[in-house]
Structure 1
Amino acid sequence: MSFFNNLKIDYSVGNQKDWTGRKTVLENQYWYQNIQVSNIEKENFNHNIHIGLVGYSCEEGVRRNQGRIGARKGPASVRNKLGKIPIHFSDKNIVDFGNIICVDNHLEDCQKALSKSISKLISNHILPIAIGGGHDIAYANFSGIKDALKNSTKNKIGIINFDAHFDLRTVEAQPNSGTPFHQILSEFKKVSYFAIGIQQQSNTKELFEIAHKNNVSYVSNFECETFTESLKNKLTSFVEKVDYLYITIDLDGFSSAYATGVSAPSPLGFSPNFVYKTLAFLFKSKKVISCDIAELNPDFDVDNHTANLAAKLVDFMVLNA
């Protein structure tokens, strides 16, 4: 029986041809020379794997949310840029497990497939880094984390979301890229949520009320100019109360000076330098259990700036993991 059972999805296994870079006679200089590829349905995990990449090729949640479609192309765009980045680590085996691909409008099946993949990686002591795709990736990733921890007594999960939006909309007709954290808070226990970069002009009064009702911690984009001592203290308090951290980065939280290739660009977002410093602090906790990057839309990217940013974020996560 297939790992994905009867889910209405397509799955493309990791492919070495997706990884290219500068030709050199030296070994292990660039990502494309170091990456391994595999099939998550058939991988027996009998060798040491530290980090697993999984693409979430899905824009159905963005379409339902009336956003600009194109996010399904995100994983391919990130791999294209990531392969060309020089490596500065020698002790981490990284495997690309290919793409979970949404078929037609079957968003929920795509989320279930990614959830199964995340759970399998964590259960085999591998850090997943998922690459989207719309921010509905968050509900899938978190569901996989919870499944992997279902028999553990250490199961308090803190969500860190770098984002201009709360994504706390209630589900009306169907879930979408704006509902994942409301779904998580409604369906799961022992979860805390901290949003970094919230923009008042990108969230309705109702969303702020929902955040308050659910004890959501957040800092506005105006508090994200630099990684301040105040933010450090807030995050320290948050991290101390949970067993694990799930980090999700919506690229529309960045200023459009750095990230044009998203569904909802804004000039008021944070900078890469701020996110790098915050990520470095979070990874020092040794509590990070899974990560993802969402909302890359190559159709609206300029000179691949956003794809380059996403790729360098993945590289930075690996360096700090």
Structure 2
Amino acid sequence: MAFDFFQPLDAGFLDYIQGLSPQTLGKKVVFHTDTEFPALENVSIAIIGVLENRGLTSNNFEVDITHIRKEFYSLFPGNWPTQIVDLGNVVAGNSLEDTNYVLKTAITHLVKNNIVPVVIGGSQDLTYAMYRAYDQLEQMVNVVSIDSKFDFAKEVSLPAHSYLTKMIVEEPNNLFNYSNIGYQTYYNSQEEIDLIEKLYFDAYRLGEVCNNPAVAEPVFRDADLVTLDLLSVKSSDSGNFTTFVPNGFSGKEICALSRYAGISDKVTSFGIFNHENSQQESVLIAQILWYFVEGFHYRSNEYPFGTKENYIKYIVTLEDELIFYKSNITERWWIEIPFLTNGSNKLKKATLLPCVQEDYLAACGGEIPDRWWKAQRKNII
């Protein structure tokens, strides 16, 4: 079974949950205990802890997410019908590959059953295991990383700094698009920045997103997997002073991005990584989780189309015919990536790419939207 190697939550933690107010999240979640594994019927979200940090440091200090769980489950939920289970922990295996295999197998099972896994690590190279979980789902995968770095590094000894390279070069190659939210230029070589452009990936600088967080919303709307590096948050807001981060997202901004991830109809897995086991940081992580769940509750199920009657179709004729759709319900926009009958396509059918109204207005002014052009190039390469 996919969850045979999951460790149940310990008695001390469960005693803490028993002492919480009846209105808290902890009283509405079903936990993996020594005597019972949660039933997965009608479940929407599954929390998974991964006690693995070998991808970030050779010291392999013990990962402990008990503080995060206590902070999260002591919060009060909104008016959510969302059913949440906590599946306990994946403990570090004999090798990093063993841990990755257990996590990959579990996520494949959950996603196949329309359950969104929320993974709390551990080092960020666990993103690679989450990505590989989609191999059996026979689909191209869009990955969004909230991170100050691209993680293209060549140091094999630190997989957390090089997992993206593995995703690009290793077979099967299911990666359709990678998007970075919040990179800081001085942490990335010009070679890496050029490679992002050459592969037609998307990257948004920290200042660009901080000035207008809504620019990231269409990016999350097209994501399958979202991964969040806690080192993208400045230390004054995260409480992490072990690895000092002078510049980064504020607590408010990172929670807004988490909510965008949750509200996306397409996101099927979410991971939070590279925390420092501190009590202070646990408070922020708990709120990041809370906003993801709140966003999930407000999903509008607009992707793919429910019925086209709820959309207005706009056609703009340039060198290519650009087809836009606007939702009558949420007023969000999409642009169609066509299926090319006279060439090879990575995408097996015409696909809708999330965009913003400004893309439509730019097309009306004779300018092909950059996001459409990049997606078209990725589709035929």
Instruction: Tell me the TM-score range normalised by the shorter chain.
Output: 0.7 to 0.9
Alignment of 1:271 with 2:247, yes or no, is no
Alignment match of 1:133 (pick from 111, 115, 122): 122
Determine the structure 2 residue equivalent to 1:219: 204
Alignment of 1:50 with 2:32, yes or no, is no
Determine the structure 2 residue equivalent to 1:247: 226
Determine the structure 1 residue equivalent to 2:67: 77
- Contact 1:246–1:291 (Cα < 8 Å) also in 2: yes
Q: Report Cα offsets for 1:149-179 as digits up to 9, x if no partner.
A: 12xxxx2322111111111223x54561111
- The structural deviation recorded for 1:279 is 3.4
**2:61, 2:56 → 1: CA distance?**
9
- The structural deviation recorded for 1:77 is 2.5
**1:16, 1:54 → 2: CA distance?**
17
Spell out the pairing of 1:1-321 with structure 2 (5 A cutoff).
3=2, 11-15=6-10, 17-19=12-14, 20=16, 23=19, 27=22, 29-38=23-32, 45=39, 47-64=41-58, 70=61, 72-73=63-64, 75-103=65-93, 106-147=95-136, 149-150=137-138, 155-170=139-154, 172-174=155-157, 176-187=159-170, 188-228=173-213, 231-232=215-216, 235-236=217-218, 238=219, 242=222, 244-261=223-240, 264-298=243-277, 301=278, 304-321=279-296
- Contact 1:71–1:297 (Cα < 8 Å) also in 2: no
Sequence identity percentage: 20
**2:66, 2:220 → 1: CA distance?**
33
Distance 1:113-1:160 versus aligned 2 partners, 3 A rule: same
Distance 1:4-1:133 versus aligned 2 partners, 3 A rule: same
Structure 2: gaps spanning 5 or more residues: 297-381
- The structural deviation recorded for 1:69 is 5.6
Q: Report Cα offsets for 1:2-49 as digits up to 9, x if no partner.
A: 6478xxxx641245642535946x63x11221121237xx96856321
Distance 1:228-1:239 versus aligned 2 partners, 3 A rule: closer
**1:194, 1:71 → 2: CA distance?**
30
- Contact 2:178–2:201 (Cα < 8 Å) also in 1: yes
Return the TM-score normalized by structure 2. Answer: 0.68
- Contact 1:71–1:134 (Cα < 8 Å) also in 2: no
Q: CA RMSD for the aligned pairs?
A: 2.8
**2:265, 2:291 → 1: CA distance?**
15
Aligned length: 291
**1:248, 1:59 → 2: CA distance?**
16
Determine the structure 1 residue equivalent to 2:335: none
Q: Secondary structure at the match of 1:56?
A: strand
Q: Report 1 or 2 for greater relative contact order, CA contacts < 8 Å, sequence distance ≥ 6.
A: 1
- Contact 1:13–1:98 (Cα < 8 Å) also in 2: yes
**2:13, 2:281 → 1: CA distance?**
18
Structure 1: gaps spanning 5 or more residues: none
